[in-house]
Amino acid sequence: MKAWTIEQSGRIENLKWSDVQDPIAEKGQLVVKVISTALNPVDYKIMESGNSNWTYPHISGVDLAGEVIEVGEGVTQFRVGDRVACHTDLNKNGGFAEKAAVDAVASTKIPDAVSFDQTASILCAGMTAYQAVIQKLNYIQKETILIHAGAGGVGGFAIQLAKELGLKVFTTASSHNHDWVKSLGADVAFDYKTEDVTKRILKETNNEGVDLIFNTVGPDEATEDLKRLTFSGQLAYIAGGPDMGTVKPFTLAPSVHEVALGAAHSSGIHRAKENLAFMAKDLMDRVAEGKLDAMVNKVLSRDELPDGLNEVKGNHVKGKIIVRMQSE
């Protein structure tokens, strides 16, 4: 088969469309013909930084949607021909290929009403948002949430999920993306480049702060988020946690949640991997029911994959970029 491979850690420009050995389905695995893959920041970031668990040449790509072509020993819930989705293990070869071996326990069937492109789109980004908004943050008796970077994949899915829960949604986005994030359900959008987000949040909430925050930016912004929380508020983060030393004990009483989607694989815990499949299934059901926009912004051919990754790296993407891995 062929795949986009990288030799050692390196830049996107070092990707090569290469001949590689076909994967085989080991015990508990499926081999999937990859139809669609989504492009995520984690794909190029770990490609550039490297992973000590990789052997080279390595195939990146954490998201895939396709058809089962081989079933490994011990797998009973899937058959050849099933349409399946999987958020893959970062420590192993991924979905930037014509075929991929994936863990069956982390995989789930795709509903008939959902396309391969829609499926790939909701995996890494949608599941990250789902884990934060649905599984981590306690929304009972909560009214408001601040979601950073609402125009991106994770932020866009988080906005939709938060709105479904009945929360008033504040988000940060460049001014040219304000109409987009509001179309997803955001009530108020701040331009983080020109506005003081902390002052705006406090003004919008009568100096109380918001109940919930989902930070997708980094530790410095997460530390600043502590000033934006109301008493007993909750903060979930994916790119580095806040400096809790800035909060005096028994004053703000915040709860802080780390969201680490891919770590479910490396945890070695069966239920953690099952939860990946559960989240993907729940999100796909929402797409099938018309409750969730899969936010497929652009669909590229497999030859355009490096260009798409560079676009993601440049932070110029609304929603998600999908790559079709099979030739027409």
In this prediction, residue 316 carries a pLDDT of 74
Supply the pLDDT for residue 328: 64
- Name 106's Cβ contacts closer than 8 Å, sequence gap at least 6: 86, 87, 88, 89, 264, 265, 273, 274, 276, 277
Q: Are 313 and 291 in contact (CB under 8 A)?
A: no
Closest CA to 156 of 135, 128, 136: 128
First vs last Cα of the chain: how many Å apart? 16
Which tokens hold the place of 136? 């981590």
Question: 324 has which bridge partners?
Answer: 36, 301
Q: Is residue 172 helix, strand or coil?
A: strand
pLDDT for the residue numbered 16: 97
- For the chain, the structural domain boundaries read 2-114+262-324, 126-258
CATH number for the domain formed by residue range(s) 126-258? 3.40.50.720
**What pLDDT digit, counting tens, does each position of 87-135 carry?**
999 999 999 999 999 999 999 999 999 999 999 999 999 999 999 999 9
pLDDT in tens, the chain (328 residues): 999 999 988 899 999 999 999 999 999 999 999 999 999 999 999 999 889 899 999 999 999 999 999 999 999 999 999 999 999 999 999 999 999 999 999 999 999 999 999 999 999 999 999 999 999 999 999 999 999 999 999 999 999 999 999 999 999 999 999 999 999 999 999 999 999 999 999 999 999 999 999 999 999 999 999 999 999 999 999 999 999 999 999 999 999 999 999 999 999 999 999 999 999 999 999 999 999 999 999 999 999 999 999 999 998 789 999 999 998 6
pTM higher than 0.95: yes
Beta strand 29-38 pairing with 16-19: unpaired
**Which tokens sit at 57?**
């040449």
- Per the structure block, which two tokens stand in for 311? 């676009």
Tell which residue, 124, 97, 143, has the closest CA to residue 3.
97
3-state class (DSSP) for residue 267? helix
The token pair at 287 is 């797409």
Sign of CA dihedral 313, 296, 219, 127: negative
d(C-alpha 265, C-alpha 90), whole Å = 8
CB 171 within 8 A of CB 146: yes
- Cα 38 to Cα 132: distance, rounded to the nearest angstrom: 20
Q: Contact 23/312 with Cβ under 8 angstroms?
A: no
Secondary structure, 3-state, 41-106: HHHHHHHHHCCCCCCCCEECCCEEEEEEEEECCCCCCCCCCCEEEEECCCCCCCCCECEEEEEHHH
Residue 232 is predicted with a pLDDT of: 97
What's the confidence (pLDDT) of residue 327?
Answer: 82
Contact 110, 85 (CB under 8 A): yes
Q: What is the CATH number of domain 2-114+262-324?
A: 3.90.180.10
What confidence score (pLDDT) does residue 8 get?
86
Nearest to 284 by CA among 123, 62, 164: 123
Report whether 7 contacts 57 (CB < 8 A).
yes
